[in-house]
Structure 1
Amino acid sequence: MKLKRAAGVLAVALAATALPIVVASPASADQGDCQLYLFDRGYNVGPKVESACRSGANYSNVGRWVNCYWGLTGIGVRTEDAAGACNAA
């Protein structure tokens, strides 16, 4: 009986832990997604990339995508990679 109860408690604990991950919004991109996009394409992710990606994830900034794009292309990121990274942000 104790084994069944322990298994039940464990199952409830696992469900409670996994629930926030399962119900998380799929459109919750951020500057980390932008940086990972560039890292996966072979770019070094340093302070300039972080700054450009941060501006792309700044939801209070209407021109955020443009700021991200120009920030990345201004430091030598290829245009197609910059566009993809800013879309990820």
Structure 2
Amino acid sequence: MEGVIVSGDRVVGRFIYRGTHTGDLLGIPSTGAAVEMRSIDIWRVENGLLVEHWDELNLMEVFQQVGVLPQLGGSEAATA
């Protein structure tokens, strides 16, 4: 957990998950690659219970780490 903010009936958290790609991931065979994924989660609290949840996952970064998408960044030709 990188941080949590509570405001009114909302709780917001930023998280980093780390692991190793050792099994099938959405049809992508195991690569053995170290993987790190970030998320932002928002919960709505009502009467002390979490009643709604939204999250944003950075799956593009995960797909880059396991090699099914290229890393983003300009080529030398693009920066010249």
Q: Same fold (TM over 0.5)?
A: no
Higher relative contact order (CA 8 A, sep 6+): 1
TM-score by length of 2: 0.24
User: Which structure's residues are more often strand, by fraction?
Assistant: 2
TM-score by length of 1: 0.23
User: Which structure's residues are more often helix, by fraction?
Assistant: 1
Give the number of the structure whose alpha-carbon radius of gyration is greater: 1
